[in-house]
Amino acid sequence: MSGSRLPGTDVRLLHQSILAWYAAHSRPLPWRDPSCSPWGVLVSEVMAQQTPVSRVVPAWQDWMSRWPTPADLARESPGEVVRAWGRLGYPRRALRLRDAAIAIVERHDGEVPRDQSELRALPGIGDYTAAAVAAFAFGDRSVVVDTNVRRVQARVVSGLAQAAPSLTRAEVDLARELLPVVDHDAAVWNVAVMELGALVCTARAPRCGDCPVRARCAWVLAGSPAYDGPVRRGQKWHGTDRQVRGIIVQALREATGPVGRAALAPGRDEQQVDRCLAGLIEDGLVEPLSADRFALPGLVEASG
């Protein structure tokens, strides 16, 4: 595979080196076990979005113990699903996962579909997650591009310190060009490149001495030039609506019953709390029981 978009790159050697490295150094994550169901893979992909794997593993294990199939989750109340999501962040993902479970039961007899177009049609499932489930649950040939993959590609093939601030068509085309021909190898390649980016070719302080393709890395061969692209600004957290939303949801998770308005986010700006409450109610994450009493959706009725 020495396609025209990869001049001077020996893709075959990249495949051999990275796949061999992955076989020896990959983390034994539970959703990578051959016995893991497609549902378990889908749950792991949704949980791992913008969340460190170290936090995902215990949450995934608890989740799969409680709801080992889509049908199990589909029968659960929205509030209990949000409560079980814990501190994974972005709790709307929990509701979307429940919505996806309901759709899987209604449209696919409780079985996670294999076809990527059918996966993308599920609530909350985008291009990346559909491609990842097709590859990692079914071993299908698909183009899976996350932040780690983009960074490895940028360095090894393009000679850049970092990928572009957001995903580009050129990056997707490059990932497709790099896929091995055999479907199984392509599926393993996707996760192998991700793992290399997560463990070795990291955004900060990459461990180039441990990299299996250091001798063929365009960035290293160019002298590891510094990133000179658009400035990447870190996201502010303290004092933001996102922080206050998290405080409100956590207060409701920890409560055994309805919570009064004053106890949701004490000490916070009243207007900000009202704004965040309104947004959480609109998103289906909070249920107003009266003018000043709130709960996670469905929990009061479920416990009554």
Q: Which residues are identified as catalytic?
A: 45
Using alpha carbons only, how large is the chain's radius of gyration in Å?
A: 22
% helix, strand, coil for the chain, step of 5: 55, 0, 40
Neighbours of 170 (CB within 10 A): 12
Give pairs for 62-70: CB < 8 Å, separation 24+: 64/30, 64/40, 67/101, 68/37, 68/39, 68/40, 69/37, 69/39, 69/110, 70/39, 70/100, 70/101, 70/102, 70/104, 70/105, 70/110, 70/111, 70/112
Strand, coil or helix: 295: strand
